Amino acid sequence: MEHVSWTRMEDGTREDYEFLGELYTEHSQGELIENLVTLLKVMEGPKLGYQIDRYQHSLQSATRALRADESLDLVVGALLHDVGDAIAPQNHSATAAAMLRPYVDDETHWVIKHHGLFQGYYYFHHMGGNRDARDVFGEHEYYESCVQFCAKYDQNCFDPDYPTLPIEDFVPMMEELFARESRVPGVAPVGMTADIQIN
């Protein structure tokens, strides 16, 4: 079969969906890392007033996390923490967190999801806001982890002189992380677009 015979999913058979599932899995897994690198590289170029672009910022964040012996989850999380900037500028933290959700531990997911708010500690007060807005999560078990993430792997990662590692050094780590079984049960069989049903 080259393609299914129908144009409406309701007309599909079991054989059709097995055929589609195989093609989809092969395609999505085969291209995932390359697509993520492409998404990171979308941020290459404009420095937007900073001294380095957001691609270098992402690499610097991951480099610092790696050199601090952080977990694979957190290093890859650091690499991708701002990748939502390119496609969801109003919601970049939650976007990156959603992409990582099936593959990383709960702590990394929470940290990436909330890093934008926690990062506000460094500038909200200069813009009429409350730098302590993050304290709404003061009792949360991962509050301190997110504070530390921003302090060590985000707010300080705008240094053009820092010896940042190239993307090639992180590709094997991305391959290892994204080869994991999804941690979140899907609602459809493996191979179909089984969006996770949990935020």
Residue 5 vs 49, nearer CB to Fe ion:
49
Copy the structure tokens of residue 112: 């990436």
CA 106 from chain center: how many Å? 13
Location of structure tokens 């992402």: 58
Residue 70 vs 154, nearer CB to Fe ion:
154
Residue 57 vs 177, nearer CB to Fe ion:
57
Binding site for Fe ion (CB under 5 A): 82, 154
Residues linked to residue 186 through DSSP beta bridges, in sequence order: 196
Spatial separation of the C-alpha atoms in residues 45 and 61, rounded to whole Å? 17
Copy the structure tokens of residue 8: 């409406």
Location of structure tokens 């055929």: 19
Copy the structure tokens of residue 148: 């530390």
Find the shortest distance in angstroms from Cβ 184 to Fe ion: 23
Residue 19 vs 158, nearer CB to Fe ion:
158
Find the shortest distance in angstroms from Cβ 7 to Fe ion: 41
Spatial separation of the C-alpha atoms in residues 199 and 72, rounded to whole Å? 22
Copy the structure tokens of residue 175: 């391959």
Residue 20 vs 174, nearer CB to Fe ion:
174
With b meaning 16 or more CB within 10 Å and e meaning fewer, what string describes 5-37? eeeeeeeeeeebbebbbeeeeeeeeeeebeebe
Find the shortest distance in angstroms from Cβ 58 to Fe ion: 7
Find the shortest distance in angstroms from Cβ 82 to Fe ion: 4
Find the shortest distance in angstroms from Cβ 56 to Fe ion: 11
Contact 25, 178 (CB under 8 A): no
